[in-house]
Amino acid sequence: MAVDADRVLRWMTSAAAVLGLTLLLASCSAPADESPVSAREKLTSTIEESAAILGQVEWAEVGPADVGNCGDQPGERVNYNYWYNADPQPERDHAADARKMAEHWTALGMDVRVVESPSYVVYATGGPVEGLSFSTAPGNYYITGTSLCVPGDADELRKQDNG
Please list the pLDDT of the chain residue by residue as tens digits (163 residues): 444 544 444 444 444 444 444 443 334 455 666 899 999 999 999 999 999 999 989 999 999 999 999 988 878 999 999 999 998 888 899 999 999 999 999 999 999 999 999 999 999 999 999 999 999 987 689 999 999 999 999 999 999 888 7
The domain of 156 spans: 5-161
CB atoms within 10 A of CB 13: 10
CA distance 4 to 96: 28
Of 121, 142, 122, 148, the closest CA to residue 59 belongs to 142
pTM of the model: 0.79
| Domains contained in the chain, number | 1
CA distance 124 to 102: 8
Q: Return the CATH number at 78.
A: 3.30.2030
Residues 6+ apart with CB under 8 A from 20: none
